[in-house]
């Protein structure tokens, strides 16, 4: 793929970028490319990998984060899941009450 084709594909996936940005990502090693006839060539699989890695930014699975950050992000996720679990238990109890289902069965 050319730089322009890459930009179009990334923009279709809601990634705001231009030629300068894509070239910067290539130079930083975030997006792999080869140079053919003084132009960057990018494999579709590299763009897919790049999009996947972007989807992990801010999560415990983000590429290149240290263990401390990973643990903190996992703790935050566990806390959010515990809150969601409590909410779902409460909703279940309310639905059982509305349906006349005894919680002691």
Identify the pLDDT of residue 105. Answer: 61
Pair 26, 16: CB distance under 8 Å: no
Across the chain, mean pLDDT equals: 94
Pair 33, 46: CB distance under 8 Å: yes
Identify the pLDDT of residue 79. Answer: 97
Whether this prediction's pTM lies above 0.75 is answered by: no
96: CB partners within 8 A, 6+ apart: 102, 103
pLDDT tops 90 at residue 76:
yes
How confident is residue 102, by pLDDT bands cut at 50, 70 and 90? confident
Pair 2, 8: CB distance under 8 Å: no
- Cα distances (angstroms) measured from residue 92 to each of 56, 80, 95: 32, 18, 5
């Amino acid at each position: 793929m050319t730089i322009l084709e890459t930009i179009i594909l990334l923009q279709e996936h809601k990634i705001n970028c231009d030629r300068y940005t894509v070239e910067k990502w290539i130079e930083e090693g975030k997006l792999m490319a080869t140079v053919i006839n003084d132009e960057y060539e990018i494999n579709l699989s590299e763009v897919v990998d790049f999009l996947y890695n972007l989807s992990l930014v801010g999560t415990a699975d983000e590429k290149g984060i240290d263990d401390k950050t990973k643990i903190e992000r996992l703790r935050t996720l566990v806390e959010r899941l515990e809150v969601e679990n409590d909410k779902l238990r409460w909703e279940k109890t309310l639905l059982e009450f509305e349906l006349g289902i005894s919680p002691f069965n």
